[in-house]
Structure 1
Amino acid sequence: MGTTGYIMEHQDEALRLDIKTGGEAIARQAGWAGIRPGMRVADVGCGSGKTTAFLHSLIQPGGEAVGIDASESRIRHATEHYGTEGLSFVQRDFYHPLDGLGGFDFIWVRFVLEYHRAKSVEIVRNLSELLNPGGILCLIDLDHNCLNHYGLSPRLEDAIQGVMAELETRHDFDPHIGRKLYSFLYDMQFTDISVHMDHHHLIYGPLTDMDGYNWTKKLEVAARNSGYPFAEYEGGFEEFLEEFKVFFADPRRFTYTPLIACRGCKPLS
């Protein structure tokens, strides 16, 4: 049985999440899903709390947002940096019943289920219990995650495919979770289901500092700890990392990742 857990766990993860989180995309996606002023909103897997703060701004006046995460350090970071009136954070494990939090009008689950392949359906069912009748559940995640690059050498492509296979089989990661989201809501008989597809990564031309930092951290943490042997490289992981960094810094490189958003309403009865 493989090990499980958050594959991007490291001491600077809250910083990485803050750096890569932008308010424009959150406002666009949450608006499409039906968020509005006065709602009580849960941000599940809230991480650094920056997304929760953006959601809180979208439900004013009169709205309340609660960020939920299992990480004590990230809840502490979120509370210190973003906690304010009507915006709070709680440390809870969504593998278990989330009793005592009250009902919500809108639940946001973005870039969370990809880390919980085996229990993703169970998690969604558990979260649906927190929704008020008629409330909105919004699931957003990536599909074919980290697998869409053009310009890779054969050994670099083999290594990336191998790393992702190890993460899937040994670390409970799901690079194909996006295509499954609709079925979760359909099977739970949610109503008014809508699906939207966009890109999350679209990287070409000169590399930005943010993309360089984000992708390097992914490799330094998740790829390094995946269990993949990097047999293609005499120098192991370090040689793989250097080749990827050279590839990624080349403005000829093309990288993209599809994003799938799915929203639906909990049945009234």
Structure 2
Amino acid sequence: MDNPDEARRLDLKTTAPPLERQARWAGIAPGMRVADVGCGSGKTSRFLHRLVDGGEVVGIDASAERIAHARAEHSAPGLTFTCRDFYAPLDDLGSFDFIWVRFVLEYHRAHSRDIVANLLRLLKPGGILCLIDLDHNCLSHFGMPPRLERALDGVMQHLTAEHDFDPYAGRKLYSYLYDTGCSDIQVDLTHHHLIYGALGAVDDYNWSQKVEVAARTSGYDFPDYPGGFPEFREEFASFFADPRRFTYTPLICCSGRAPR
């Protein structure tokens, strides 16, 4: 999803109530030192910062463009941002009470376990690691024409094979915590997308960007569409604008405590 408009898409689709509810469920508390890994535009970090009154939040992202946006829009006392590769050692950032990893591992299918193991090194003994991701990502729609459904499956197969994307990241999170020896593991299942009836402006923009960026650059050649990607894009837009359409995406939240 890396493109010049990604920060805007992230800002538009990120709202405080669900995020703060998830963070409280996971155990965030005032005074904590928190790492927001894959912080993107920085808006998530700002919401987390509200919950750690007297604490500190460090937003971490590998994109220099995202970090520049975050620093310009969201920096505050106790809220800082750093451009870092979270595959590499991060020990110089110090230790944390709480590490937040939301909508990140889905973009790192082959190395998700390595990322989790690397981040656990930053947690204080008994510190909390919270992993949140989608399952069956972008694939749960009803009312879709058969060729459109085949095309979406084809796009996802290409993104998985060629771009390290994982549409089933959510179901794996519990095992990451279990296998690394975390304790007090808890799991919550809810929805992220639940779209029916009239299409709202934010969902329209978010999904049109998904199609324009991810589907276009996936490498899939849209064999059922004589007009190629533009014809696919037009049919998806027509389907998605139809109030009869039903779309949902499961959201799985897992948290656990680092070994003491």
- TM-score normalised by structure 1 residue count: 0.96
RMSD between aligned alpha carbons? 0.4
Residue aligned with 2:40, SS: coil
- Partner-residue secondary structure (3-state), 1:119: helix
Q: Which consecutive unaligned segments of at least 5 residues does structure 1 have?
A: 1-7
Are residues 1:93 and 2:93 paired?
no
Alignment pair present for 1:44 and 2:37: yes
Equivalent of residue 154 in structure 1, options 141, 146, 161: 146
Residue 107 (str. 1) matches residue 78 (str. 2):
no
Q: Which SS does the other structure have where 1:67 is aligned?
A: strand
Query: How do 1:32-181 and structure 2 match up within 5 A?
Result: 32-60=25-53, 62-181=54-173
Matched residue type, 1:15: R
**Structure 2: how far apart are the matches of 1:72 and 1:189?**
33
Q: Which amino acid aligns with 2:109?
A: R
Deviation of 1:267 after TM superposition, in Å, equals 1.3
What TM-score, normalized by structure 2, do the two folds share?
A: 1.00
Q: What CA distance in whole angstroms lies between the structure 2 residues aligned with 1:187 and 1:57? A: 32
Which amino acid in the other structure matches residue 95 of structure 1? Y
Q: Which amino acid aligns with 2:101?
A: V
Is 2:21 aligned against 1:28? yes
CA distance in 2, matches of 1:241, 1:191: 45
List alignment gaps of at least 5 residues for structure 2. none
Q: Is the 8 A contact 2:105 2:112 kept in 1?
A: yes
Secondary structure, aligned partner of 2:94: coil
- Percent identity over the alignment is 67
SS of the residue corresponding to residue 55 of structure 1 reads helix
Shift of 1:99: 2.4
Q: Which residue in 1 is equivalent to 2:257?
A: 265
Following TM superposition, by how much is the alpha carbon of 1:132 offset from its aligned partner in structure 2, in angstroms?
0.4
Kindly provide the amino acid, as one letter, of the partner of residue 117 in structure 1.
Answer: R
* Structure 2 CA distance for aligned equivalents of residues 267 and 176 of structure 1: 27
Cα distance per residue 1:127-183 (max 9 Å; x no partner): 000000010000000000000000010100000000000000110000001000000
- Partner amino acid for 1:186? Y
Question: Residues 160 and 166 of structure 2 are in contact (CA less than 8 Å); yes or no, is this contact kept in structure 1?
Answer: yes
Residue aligning to 1:199: 191
Residue number in structure 2 paired with 1:3? none
* Pairing partner for 1:224 from 208, 216, 220: 216
Stretches of 4+ aligned residues off by more than 3 angstroms: none
Match of 2:6 among 9, 13, 17: 13
Shift of residue 251, structure 1, vs aligned partner: 0.3
* C-alpha contact (below 8 Å) 2:91/2:121 kept by paired residues: no
Distance 2:167 2:228 in 1: 24
1:190 maps to amino acid: C
Q: Deviations over 1:199-232 (max 9, x none)?
A: 0000000000000000000000000000000010
The match for 2:226 among 211, 229, 234 is: 234
Structure 2 distance, partners of 1:146, 1:81, is 29
